[in-house]
Amino acid sequence: MVYQKYVKRVLDIVFSVLLLVATSWIFMLLMLLYLITFNLPVFFVQDRIGKNSITFRMIKFRTLKVSDEQDRRFVLGNVLRFLSLDELPQLLNVLMGDMSLIGPRPLPIEYLPLFSAEQKKRHDVRPGITGWAQVNGRNSVSWEQKFKFDVMYVQKVSFLFDAKIVVKTIILLLSFRKDTSLLEKKFTGSHDV
């Protein structure tokens, strides 16, 4: 309880600052690449569901074209998705207190009225950049299973559990698995689970 209430937030601040400093050159390089390839705007900002179901503005590097063309992907965006670098700006969300490094992934606000009472427990903690569902199948598991993983995380959150998720996240990142997030079907309610 002490970890969840106090220590976790301190670690979020410390490590998000360290990671932002360490990756600042990547931020600069990517912003330059967006500019010289005329793929503006650089960032994708969207309202997402946060702790206690309070919405916040989540920031990512934009990986899709702004236009309504059928294929909205572009080369730089594909590379960022493949390397998971599009998630880097979320370190700013962590620093601001909207997110944690580890927790259930923040979902679009349109999903808010669709959750069951049990599924809503995923919002008892700050959403994370990575989480238990992400290291246990990510987009290859059903919404039902993802939400079970999320609620399990909320019930078991601890330093050792977070450390385990960090290790599994690093292993996944180094495996360079193909990104399938664009193929994931939207959650439309309890009949999906």
Taking only the tens place, the pLDDT of each residue in 151-176 is 999 999 999 999 999 999 999 888 87
Residue 122, pLDDT score: 96
For the chain, how many structural domains are there in total?
A: 1
Q: Is 90 in contact with 129 (CB distance < 8 Å)?
A: yes
Is residue 127 classed as helix, strand or coil in its secondary structure?
coil
Q: Is the pLDDT of residue 136 over 60?
A: yes
pTM: predicted TM-score of the whole model, two decimal places: 0.87
Instruction: Tell me, rounded to whole angstroms, the distance of Cα 40 from its chain centroid.
Output: 22
Q: Is the pLDDT of residue 80 over 90?
A: no
Residue 128, pLDDT score: 97
Render the burial of 132-160: b for 16+ CB within 10 Å, e for the rest: bbbbbebeeeebeebbbbbbbbbeebeee
Domain of 113, in residue numbers: 2-192
Q: Is the pLDDT of residue 178 over 90?
A: no
Distance (Å, whole) CA 115 – CA 111: 7
Residue 66, pLDDT score: 72
Q: For residue 49, which of 112, 120, 117 has the smallest C-alpha distance?
A: 112
Residue 141, pLDDT score: 84
Residue 37, pLDDT score: 84
